[in-house]
């Protein structure tokens, strides 16, 4: 088939690396506009395939080495802040790619010295304008509906309890507080949140984890549905 794309990996690679391969294949399929086959095979077959490619004069082969890793505890760099013609943030246009999740060894959204936690009940009482902006940003980047919950929290309705639980666990590793209530993901919404700091962090982290959840579902959607039925 013309334009066929195949990603082959060692079957004995760690689960996190194999998941990264699946995430890469999903992103590549979307960008290239064609299916990507992912295969995990014994290393002996990989060795034979590599030897065959080296001996094939018509094959074009290139290897990519990993770039130097940064401090895993260091927060991710901030994406440029974009504005729409009407003066509101262009949440949907701020990200075209995403850093690796902290769950898979990438930089967390917030540094350990500046985690994002929900306000205490005594200090609760969020800015209505900022809450509306968070809800709009979440909708623009994920298509998920968000609403105010108990004081200090914003509730995002997910497709299933499994999705809410997975995203919650991934977000906590980004140094952002999160909780689960059945199929709702609860995110902090403090009274003093600023547009270019805490509000952007919340929208970024849910956009980032939702992006990876979509890729995760592409490979294990049946397992997730079965878990919900159980």
Each residue's pLDDT tens digit, 47-70: 788 778 777 777 766 665 555 444
pLDDT digits (tens, 9 = 90+) for 206-224: 998 998 888 765 455 544 4
Neighbouring C-beta atoms of residue 43, cutoff 10 Å: 12
Q: How far is CA 98 from the centre of its chain?
A: 7
Task: Find the helix packing angle between 200-229 and 161-172, rounded to 10°.
Answer: 140
The helix (run of H) or strand (run of E) holding residue 7 is strand 5-10
DSSP 81: P
DSSP 123: G
pTM of the model as a whole:
0.59
| Beta strands 36-41; 5-10: pairing state | parallel
Q: What is the CA radius of gyration of the chain?
A: 20
Average pLDDT value for the chain: 78
pLDDT digits (tens, 9 = 90+) for 177-209: 999 999 999 999 887 888 888 999 999 999 989
What is the average pLDDT across 31-45?
83
What is the average pLDDT across 100-109?
80
Q: Is 183 helix (H, G, I), strand (E, B) or coil?
A: coil
């Amino acid at each position: 088939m013309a334009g066929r794309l195949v990603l082959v990996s060692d079957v004995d690679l760690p689960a996190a690396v194999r998941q990264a391969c699946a995430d890469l294949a999903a992103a590549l399929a979307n960008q290239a506009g064609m299916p990507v086959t992912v295969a995990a095979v014994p290393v002996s077959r990989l060795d034979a395939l590599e030897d065959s490619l080296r001996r094939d004069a018509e094959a074009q082969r290139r290897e990519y080495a990993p770039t130097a890793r940064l401090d895993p505890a260091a927060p991710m760099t901030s994406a440029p802040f974009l504005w729409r013609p009407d003066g509101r943030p262009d949440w949907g246009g701020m990200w075209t790619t995403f850093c690796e999740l902290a769950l898979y060894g990438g930089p967390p959204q917030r540094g350990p010295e500046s985690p994002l936690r929900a306000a205490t009940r005594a200090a609760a009482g969020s800015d209505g304008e900022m809450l509306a902006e968070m809800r709009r940003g979440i909708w623009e980047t994920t298509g998920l509906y968000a609403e105010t919950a108990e004081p200090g929290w914003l509730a995002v309705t997910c497709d299933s309890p499994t999705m809410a639980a997975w995203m919650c666990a991934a977000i906590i590793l980004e140094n952002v507080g999160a909780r689960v209530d059945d199929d709702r993901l609860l995110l902090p919404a403090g009274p003093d949140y600023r547009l270019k700091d805490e509000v952007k962090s919340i929208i970024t982290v849910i956009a980032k984890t939702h992006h990876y959840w979509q890729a995760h579902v592409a490979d294990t959607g049946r397992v997730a549905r079965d878990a919900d039925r159980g």
